[in-house]
Chains A and B, each alone.
Chain A
């Protein structure tokens, strides 16, 4: 795993390195990476400062679907596949993302811009089917809109 060059120290200075702040710290480090992941070096530093053993820390990081220990794209596309989106055509929208990006779920485009993931309910079911791209939500999707959405991020 390559290092992501995140200034972990300054993040750890901002949040006191106690266990109760671990989720905050992990979010901050991942957001700062630019590649949507937490690298091994960062994990070691966090483990050392917080006193949480590295193996436990890995257990925590891998438990939550928003965190990744593998490099991801600059933009993580998280397509909702829960029931409310499913019944209004989420599958077709997901297929459109796959073919537009030329990747499968869980993969990253070769240019490193996009990672495609599926996710559980995003809580915007009034505009289902919906997708979250980093922090932006896009709703009321149909397959024909996918190309335009991706263009915006290129």
Chain B
């Protein structure tokens, strides 16, 4: 085996690729060989580093660079790798960049903690050996050798892990339902149909650490007694599909998937399914319908999937991020996991932070951090330099929080008490420049398009909401539009068949509450 004195890890996730990571990598390799360093320094692709622009980290020093362009490469190689001094002008700032990666699991200055993203940006996601070298598949080995299915479920229950897809259902209890249901066949499904606008955390988890999802699904299969799993990835996520498929293939070669895993009686097989571009398929029963080759329309609940899901067999459907927590809960224990977070909301939450800020990207923070802390410690300022006006949390179906309410803590209990939703894991910051009513038109348009049409309140409601909002945005509205909008939202919330229609109204109700004046500006002058 060849030894290298240094390794350069370059973030090769979708946003990085779009900002030129491939070109930078090629330039780096050619520059290194020009200097005769190709046998001393190895360039490795990794997942999202969470920096802006093209990011990389040079090990063993752990120096993190961001916004690297092809033009910087020669200087960087000359300064850092030949002369041995860091190129200060490109050193990553903010988000505790270097620390985040170098001191994973430790609390950091800007409040980030890495559990789910432990490996993202540290290992080569396409190399199963790097995952294994970082304690990968240890949890699977442990459950097969030392734990009964019941013990696995008890451990997950004790960790108080709750679903990270939006509904926050206790994961251990869900597993217990399926464990306790007698059936000749059970299934495990990973919901990777990440469609909530603004959210791309699952994509970056799959691109950065695909084996954590694969391992966790096998553990779930063992716990509930399933021998077959599906990862349903949205069709647009090509790189995620490739990386997960490679992870599955590699795991099969090492008998970490397949028949009699690691010599035990347990067999588990995984398959990738992909979606066709339908937001509603993120709803678990719609997703199941889609895997069955049908239109992705939600089913009547109950029965819930843990009792009757795919092909009417007991089925666990968990989000990517939920699964990514499991291996460490098994190896380090539920008590360790509960040390992070707050009462009732154990662990961390991965968010994508976007909008009018400089530090866009992926963060992982302990549950219970406040929105203001996220803004002031991590996002810091708006990119435009304008005052921040509101944050839209949890995606299009989430809540719009005006700046005056930024002190709210982002844990499940606090949010629920304030009648807010935790959502999928996105925070969109908007400055004063953003016209709330114009912004609402993009949301109403989205829901009008994505409503599956199965139930009337949602199919007609999203359509009418869109009409009213667009009338107001054009300055052609009436007072009645605003009062009717509120009534319609209440009806949709109560009577829609699934979460789509029930949650679609959230941002509209928030705007009626917090930005009524701006809505009223859309009323025609003669009607005021």
Interface residues of A (CB under 8 A from B): 19-24, 26-27, 50, 52, 56, 59-60, 63-67, 81-84, 86-88, 119-128, 130, 132, 135, 137-140
Contact = CB atoms under 8 A, between A and B. Distances in A.
Interface string B418-452: 00000000101010001000110111011001101
Nearest to B196: A121
B137 interface: no
Interface in B291-331: 291-297
15 contacts: A19-B294, A20-B292, A59-B295, A65-B449, A81-B445, A82-B197, A83-B396, A84-B198, A84-B355, A86-B439, A86-B442, A120-B195, A125-B200, A126-B354, A130-B18
Interface secondary structure of A, over-half rule: mixed
A67 B14 CA distance: 23
A27 B361 CA distance: 30
A12 to B, nearest CB: 13
B114 interface: no
A26 B273 CA distance: 12
Contacts, number: 143
A84 B197 CA distance: 7
Nearest to B280: A63
B338 interface: no
A83 B14 contact: no
A23 B275 contact: yes
B293 A52 contact: yes
Contacts of B200: 123-126
Contacts of B428: 83-84, 87, 125
B442 A140 contact: no
Interface of B: 14-15, 18-19, 194-200, 203, 234-238, 273-279, 290-297, 352, 354-356, 360-361, 392, 396, 426, 428, 430, 434, 438-439, 441-443, 445-446, 449-450, 452
A126 B53 CA distance: 9
A56 B196 CA distance: 28
Contacts of A123: 14, 194-195, 199-200, 203, 234, 236-237
Nearest to A90: B442
A27 B233 CA distance: 13
Nearest to B359: A126
A39 B203 CA distance: 32
A124 B15 contact: yes
Given A20-B291, A27-B274, A83-B442, A121 B14 contact: no
A60 B295 contact: yes
Contact of A65 (B198, B199, B277, B294): B277
Contacts of A63: 276, 278, 295-297, 452
Contacts of A124: 14-15, 18, 200
Contacts of B443: 83
A64 B446 contact: no
Contacts of B297: 63
A41 to B, nearest CB: 20
Nearest to A135: B238
Nearest to A80: B197
A82 B274 contact: no
Nearest to B310: A20
B198 A83 contact: yes
B425 to A, nearest CB: 12
B278 A65 contact: yes
Given A121-B198, A123-B203, A128-B354, A137 B290 contact: no
